Amino acid sequence: MRFNILEIVRQGLSGNSGWGPHWRSPDPKPEYDVVIVGGGGHGLATAFYLAKEHGITNVALLEKGYLGGGNVGRNTTIVRANYMLPGNSEFYSHSLKLWEGMEQELNYNAMMSQRGIYNLFHSDGQRDAYARRGNQMISQGDDAELLDRAAVRRRLPFLDHDNARFPVIGALYHGRGGTARHDAVAWGYARGADRRGVDLIQNCEVIGIDIEGGRVRGVQTTRGAIRAKKVALVTAGRSSQTAAMAGLRLPIESHVLQAFVSEGLKPLIDCVVTFGMGHFYISQSDKGGLVFGGDLDFYASYAARGNLPMAEHVMEAGMALMPMIGQARVLRSWGGIMDMTPDGSPIIDKTDIRGLYLDCGWCYGGFKAVPGSGFSLAHLVATDRHHAPAARFRLDRFARGAVIDEEATGSQHNLH
């Protein structure tokens, strides 16, 4: 099923009754060249790029629930390339370029909206740090603009600029950043992979990994055993559990991140804003809801729901930044399980078990990484060589001390 103007008109005139499913629902075959475990954004993008870039189509993607039911459908949809450290900087720069061509590549409206991101700063020290970050972004080839107090006041009049504790003194503006419709990204990659022959198998949980003589041989699932020459674990918040099936202990803790959406309001915020003195970020969805989030729940957990103290913490930060938000009603909140590494940066690597690959540790920033991660993991699985922009995301960097600690908070998972 492809979209084009003629088809949309034809369907519109016939009551939209002729749209078919976007992907097949095949039964698993006994054997594949590659099995991808996890049907989130990263797994789906990997399947797509394996087929498109490398011609590898004898691939099964196994998802224990439904496609897009994990974090890819739970995030606050912010896409950006404003990282500073080598490793992250080139990777997210590459990923943003893929975002910019994604809708054409997939022929799918992912509602990619480069509406711009403002990272507010509230002190001289913070301004210096953002100036440095902006320079790094520009030298990587991305865009950044340092705005003074007057410019931010003009562009974002709804903020409390003169808050006694946290006055807004400027912002780092990243115009190519923005938001995208998260489910549509998953659906677009799913359809693209399916059309190229990948089997997308839902309600199929991987419960064991078969290893013989130091090499992966396949997986055990709730729908039977499946043999495979290569297996990629792309299970986000569940990564420690799936890796444990292969006897691996990952340097990952799983924590809940919550998000919130208000009732639909008239257009108010046409960009993304992040508060520099509290973990609070906000945008407005195309339906009108204010979409906002904050910090991690501080304890490790596999519950995909949050708690009230963190809800209160996020609301307080929102009230400090833009007090009129107090008049909006919160419609709903939800949580997702974040795969937190000790340095806050991800892992895309081979393991010591031949044919077994890892893609995890995306912390709370993996939505923007979806195309880049899929592209780089597909490259690694297909060629057994690291894709240059992701070459520093090695598992052994924690043993070597070559960490990529973007937030400079030290090795405490929940602080990144």
If one asks whether residue 39 binds ligand FAD (CB under 6 A), the answer comes out as yes
Token couple for 122: 């509230």
Q: Which is nearer to ligand FAD, 237 or 278 (CB)?
A: 237
What does the alpha-carbon distance between residue 293 and residue 283 come to, in Å, rounded to a whole number? 10
Q: Which residues contact 139 (CB under 8 A, 6 or more apart)?
A: none
Q: Which residues contact 165 (CB under 8 A, 6 or more apart)?
A: 277, 320
Q: Which is nearer to ligand FAD, 134 or 178 (CB)?
A: 178
The footprint of ligand FAD on this chain (CB under 6 A) covers a number of residues equal to 39
Q: Which of 205, 217, 227, 288 binds ligand FAD (CB under 6 A)?
A: 205
Map the chain to HEC letters. CCCCHHHHHHHHHCCCCCCCCCCCCCCCCCEEEEEEECCCHHHHHHHHHHHHHHCCCCEEEECCCCCCCCHHHCCCCEECCCCCCCCHHHHHHHHHHHHHHHHHHHCCCCCCECCCEEEEECCHHHHHHHHHHHHHHHHHCCCCEEEEHHHHHHHCCCCCCCCCCCCCCEEEEECCCEECCHHHHHHHHHHHHHHCCCEEECCCCEEEEEEECCEEEEEEECCEEEEEEEEEECCHHHHHHHHHCCCCCCCCEEEEEEEEEEEECCCCCCCEEECCCCCCEEEECCCCEEEEEEEEEEEECCCCCCCHHHHHHHHHHHHHHCHHHHHCCEEEEEEEEEEECCCCCCEEEECCCECEEEEECCCCCCCCCHHHHHHHHHHHHHHCCCCHHHCCCCCCHHHHCCCCCCCCCCCCHHHC
If one asks whether residue 345 binds ligand FAD (CB under 6 A), the answer comes out as no
Minimum CB distance to ligand FAD, residue 333 (Å)? 9
Q: Which is nearer to ligand FAD, 127 or 366 (CB)?
A: 366
Q: Which is nearer to ligand FAD, 166 or 281 (CB)?
A: 281
What does the alpha-carbon distance between residue 275 and residue 1 come to, in Å, rounded to a whole number? 42
Q: Which single residue brings its beta carbon nearest to ligand FAD?
A: 40
Q: Which is nearer to ligand FAD, 161 or 223 (CB)?
A: 223
Q: Which of 364, 371, 377, 390 binds ligand FAD (CB under 6 A)?
A: 364
Token couple for 325: 């938000």
Q: Pick the stretch among 25-33, 110-118, 365-373, 408-416 that binds ligand FAD (CB under 6 A).
A: 365-373
Q: Which of 28, 43, 87, 116 binds ligand FAD (CB under 6 A)?
A: 43
Q: Which is nearer to ligand FAD, 206 or 273 (CB)?
A: 206
If one asks whether residue 224 binds ligand FAD (CB under 6 A), the answer comes out as no
If one asks whether residue 101 binds ligand FAD (CB under 6 A), the answer comes out as no
If one asks whether residue 40 binds ligand FAD (CB under 6 A), the answer comes out as yes
If one asks whether residue 376 binds ligand FAD (CB under 6 A), the answer comes out as no
Q: Pick the stretch among 33-41, 93-101, 159-167, 195-203 that binds ligand FAD (CB under 6 A).
A: 33-41
Q: Pick the stretch among 88-96, 229-237, 263-271, 408-416 that binds ligand FAD (CB under 6 A).
A: 229-237
Q: Which is nearer to ligand FAD, 74 or 133 (CB)?
A: 74
Q: Which is nearer to ligand FAD, 77 or 169 (CB)?
A: 77
Q: Which is nearer to ligand FAD, 169 or 362 (CB)?
A: 362
Minimum CB distance to ligand FAD, residue 162 (Å)? 28
Q: List binders of ligand FAD among 251-270 (CB under 6 A).
A: 257-259
Contact pattern from residue 53 through residue 72 relative to ligand FAD, giving x for each residue in contact according to CB under 6 A and a dash for the rest: ---------xxxx---xxxx
Contact pattern from residue 263 through residue 302 relative to ligand FAD, giving x for each residue in contact according to CB under 6 A and a dash for the rest: ------------------------------x---------
Q: Which of 59, 159, 169, 236 binds ligand FAD (CB under 6 A)?
A: 236
Q: Which is nearer to ligand FAD, 169 or 236 (CB)?
A: 236
- Binding site residues, ligand FAD, CB under 6 A: 37-43, 62-65, 69-72, 74-78, 205-206, 234-238, 242, 257-259, 293, 336, 362, 364-368
